[in-house]
Amino acid sequence: MYRYDAIDKTLVNERVAQFRDQTRRFLAGELSDDEFKHLRLRNGLYIQKHAPMLRIAIPYGLLSSAQLRALAGIAQRYDRGYGHFTTRQNLQFNWPKLEDVPDILAELASVEMHAIQTSGNCIRNVTSDHLAGVTPDELEDPRPWCEIIRQWSTFHPEFSYLPRKFKIAVTGAARDRAASLVHDVGVHIVRGPQGELGFEILAGGGLGRTPVIGQVVRDFLPREYLLSYLEAVLRVYNLEGRRDNLQKARIKILVRSLGIDEFRRRVEAEWASIRDTGPCIGDAEIARMRAFFPAPAYRAQPDCEPAVAGSTAFRAWYRYNTAQHKIPGYRVVFISLKKPAVAPGDATAAQMALIAELADRYSFGEIRVTHSQNLLLADVEQGEVFALWQALDQAGLATPNIGTLTDMICCPGLDFCSLANAGSIDVAKLINERFDDYDYVYDLGELEVKMSGCMNACGHHHVGHIGILGVDKGGSEWYQITIGGAAGEDASLGTVIGPSVAKSEVAETIARLLEVYVERRGPEERFLDTVRRLGVQPFKERVYAAPVAA
Amino acid sequence: MPRRLLRDGRVMVDEWHYLTETAIDAAAPLIVPFDRWIQARDLWISRAGPLGVLLAPASDVNRLAADLPRLALIAAQFSGPGEGRGYSQGRLLRERWKFAGEIRACGYVRQDQLFFLARCGFNSFELNDSDFANAAAALSIFSAAYQPCNDAGLDYELVSRTSGA
């Protein structure tokens, strides 16, 4: 993974000193609430319902074991002993004290981490494919490009006060596991006409109040121009994006109001004027960045599945929580943070410390955070998978549900977030209680359930196969259900099935949707594809045919 | 009270006047709001004294391109702590149009913005009164930068591994 040099270290230390002074000025009354808000948000610090929330950047989801240990230590000493992993591969602490934040940032800096630009109207932490470098369907490892973008976007002087937040996702594989079509900018590594490497650039995707699927701005960009092209996109957005209305300030609104053709014309015109003078990524720099992400020292070994007779629990876990690795004899292992009765994406300090130790023992000391709020160990020898499972199982980290109904994406909801209209964690619990029969859950196959506590859509409900949105109706919590959304390369927005339902009715509503699916699915057909084939009507009819018994 | 200003790293009294300020003689340096400039460009250009233009955040700075040789100063207005269009205006002036005169930040300008403003080509600042004492430290708050920008004469190390202009 990328390692800081002396300059990177100096910069994060200088940032800590800067923020320490800004916090001091705020506490001394030299900065108003509003002034400090603009500064603290650039360091990931929100003032939330119970306490400040601190969001820590995990660049493109990659962590070393030392970093995860440091996060465990911070959770222990400054929080209530746990942290929450997010859909953008970051980590949030929900209980730090404002006065402690500069010290927390200093501890992070000591392990080459920070909270820079994890919130605020600036370029956010770049995200990517959690299977980067190990998936067989990859054209090129996106991580060196992510790091190039990370450095370029860090403290970018021109784009630090944008109309609104700006999220970039990079993928290099056929399958899109980074939800790049619902990002402000999606960067896809592709091959050009002569087989040379470059990028397809999309813009204008996003969720929130106005969900939009990103559109292609340029179908092939030679690789050396990645940063100058991003500068052109950002400059058009910075100058022309709306600033009068927070709800209309994202780039998706600009792209929609101009139309993609006019937006593209403006970006291309801007780019033409900076292409030869703007940042240009030379071959030496690409080689230098690639050298930070070498293949680990894989050992040649037979590619056979672990032969463990009799353990059905292990078999189920192996089937759902591990994935194919491009190197024979290795396996990708997911660590589910979706145990029933635990808030989705939460991990305790003890679990983080254990995972760090397991990463050292079994996976070259690296851990990844996935878009779906789980962790993974990317490089585990087949012969050690069983021992790893045993260790995970003892720690409550082997819930065999990756990619299934209970592997829900879920925002922190009303319990932790000042924006939310409704709880999401307790609804996740109700769904887990209702669907506690693994045979049934497995029979349903691949199913993405995504839940947000409000219109801001941090839980990506619009692009869930089943989406659940918390709404406030006269002071009580209701839930609007959508079906048919998807976040991958075939991204689509879900359709609302009808009037929202009470909290006590959510699980039954999902059960009825699934009944229709089970009755009418074709062979090997996913829920999503059945919805796409049949449309919403049969699902809607079943859900609203009879009232739910409370 | 005369306006204080941080210009090229030094605190000084501003010799410029905005059009909206009290009557001034015809030879005094004058800053004209962008819209007024566009409306009566030829009239302003015929004036004897030094001229500047005050950009609103939404002003299209490219429309001034032909007039830049006659202008000694461009000021960009920052309406509040979240306003960011001036950063692009500054870079366009310095990099695209090679404007060599004074580029000034006015309106909401605090020490926390100085480093980025300087990198975007600003060399003078109508700084909040309480921040003058910290200005020098704020201008060198970071000792390095990742992106090629307007870096000539600034006191930090450019570590961009990409080549720039």
Q: Write out the H or E segment, with its range, that includes residue A462.
A: none
Query: Using 50, 70 and 90 to split pLDDT, how confident is the model at A434?
Result: very high
Q: What angle do CA A510, A512, A515 make, to 5 degrees?
A: 115
Can A316-394 and A409-545 be said to share one CATH topology? no
Average pLDDT value over all residues in chain A: 94
Q: What is the CATH number of domain A6-110?
A: 3.90.480.20
Q: Quote the CA–CA distance of B127 and A269 in Å, as a whole number.
A: 35
What single-letter amino acid sits at A185?
A: V
Secondary structure string (H, E, C) spanning A83-139: EEECCCCCEEECCCCHHHHHHHHHHHHHCCCECCCCCCCCECCCEECCCCCCCCCEC
Tens-digit pLDDT profile for residues B61-75: 999 999 999 999 999
- B-chain CB neighbours of A278 within 8 Å are 148, 164-165
Tokens standing for B163? 């080549």
Tens-digit pLDDT profile for residues A493-507: 999 999 999 999 999
- Strands A91-93 and A82-85, bridge-based pairing: antiparallel
Q: Does B156 touch chain A (CB under 8 A)?
A: no
Using CB atoms, pick whichever of A155, A235, A281 lies closest to residue B146: A155
Tens-digit pLDDT profile for residues A509-532: 999 999 999 999 999 999 999 999
Model pTM score: 0.95
Domain A142-288: which topology? Sulfite Reductase Hemoprotein; domain 1 (3.30.413)
Query: Using 50, 70 and 90 to split pLDDT, how confident is the model at B162?
Result: low
All residues at 6 or more sequence positions from B156 whose CB lies less than 8 Å from its CB, including other chains: B140, B142, B143, B144, B145
- A-chain CB neighbours of B115 within 8 Å are 157
Higher pLDDT, A309 or B115: B115
Cβ–Cβ gap B142/A155 under 8 Å: yes
Three-state SS for B80?
Answer: coil
Q: Which domains does chain B have, with CATH numbers?
A: 4-135 (3.20.20.70)
Three-state SS for A509?
Answer: helix
Using CB atoms, pick whichever of B84, B96, B143 lies closest to residue A10: B143
Which residues on neighbouring strands pair with residue A452, listed in sequence order? Answer: A469
CB pairs under 8 A between A and B: 103
**Cα atoms in the 13 Å half-sphere on the side-chain side of A54:** 25
Query: Using 50, 70 and 90 to split pLDDT, how confident is the model at A549?
Result: low
Q: Quote the CA–CA distance of B66 and B80 in Å, as a whole number.
A: 30
Q: What is the mean pLDDT of residues B131-136?
A: 94
Report the gap between the CA of A3 and the closest CA in chain B (Å): 15
Q: What is the mean pLDDT of residues A431-457?
A: 94
Q: Indicate which of A15, A39, A119, A161 best probes the interface with B, i.e. most B CBs within 10 Å of its own CB.
A: A161
Domain regions of chain A by residue span: 6-110, 142-288, 316-394, 409-545
- B-chain CB neighbours of A266 within 8 Å are none
Cβ–Cβ gap A38/B162 under 8 Å: no
Residue A451 pLDDT exceeds 90: yes
How many percent of chain A have pLDDT more than 70? 98
- Strands A127-128 and A168-171, bridge-based pairing: parallel
Cβ–Cβ gap B82/A154 under 8 Å: no
Q: CA nearest B13: which of B25, B27, B29?
A: B29
Q: Quote the CA–CA distance of A285 and A387 in Å, as a whole number.
A: 40
Cβ–Cβ gap B116/A273 under 8 Å: no
A377-381, B135-139, B154-158, range with greatest mean pLDDT: A377-381
Higher pLDDT, A46 or A199: A199
Q: Quote the CA–CA distance of A171 and A168 in Å, as a whole number.
A: 10
Q: Quote the CA–CA distance of A226 and A188 in Å, as a whole number.
A: 11
Q: Return the C-alpha torsion angle B56, B59, B63, B65, nearest 10.
A: 50
CA distances from A354 to A65, A321, A395, B65 (A): 10, 18, 8, 61
Query: Are A170 and A145 a contacting pair, CB within 8 Å?
Result: yes
How many percent of chain B have pLDDT more than 90? 78
- Beta-carbon count within 10 A of A472 CB: 14
Cα A335 to chain centroid distance, Å, stands at: 15
Q: What is the mean pLDDT of residues A22-49?
A: 90
Domain A409-545: which topology? Sulfite Reductase Hemoprotein; domain 1 (3.30.413)
Q: For the residues of A289-354, what is the DSSP string, one character each?
A: HHTTSPPP-PPP--------TT-HHHHHHHHHHEEE-SSTTEEEEEE----TTS-TTEEEHHHHHH
Residue A422 pLDDT exceeds 80: no
Q: Return the C-alpha torsion angle A64, A65, A66, A67, nearest 10.
A: 60
- Beta-carbon count within 10 A of A237 CB: 27
- A-chain CB neighbours of B162 within 8 Å are 148, 152, 227, 279-282, 285
Cβ–Cβ gap A279/B164 under 8 Å: yes
Q: Quote the CA–CA distance of B48 and A94 in Å, as a whole number.
A: 62
Q: Quote the CA–CA distance of A72 and A67 in Å, as a whole number.
A: 9
Sign of the torsion angle spanned by Cα atoms A56, A87, A186, A134 = positive
- B-chain CB neighbours of A151 within 8 Å are 146, 161
Residue B22 pLDDT exceeds 80: no
Domain A316-394: which topology? Alpha-Beta Plaits (3.30.70)
Query: Are A158 and A139 a contacting pair, CB within 8 Å?
Result: no
Cβ–Cβ gap B116/A155 under 8 Å: yes
Cα A158 to chain centroid distance, Å, stands at: 26
Cβ–Cβ gap A152/B147 under 8 Å: yes
Looking at residue B27, what is its pLDDT? 86
Q: What is the mean pLDDT of residues A382-409?
A: 96
Looking at residue B156, what is its pLDDT? 60
Q: Residues of B numbered 26-45 whose beta carbons fall under 8 angstroms of chain A's beta carbons: which are they?
A: none
Tens-digit pLDDT profile for residues A110-149: 999 999 999 999 999 999 999 999 999 999 999 999 999 9
- Beta-carbon count within 10 A of A174 CB: 12
Tens-digit pLDDT profile for residues A209-258: 899 999 999 999 999 999 999 999 999 999 999 999 999 999 999 999 99
Q: What is the mean pLDDT of residues B27-42?
A: 95
How many percent of chain A have pLDDT more than 90? 86
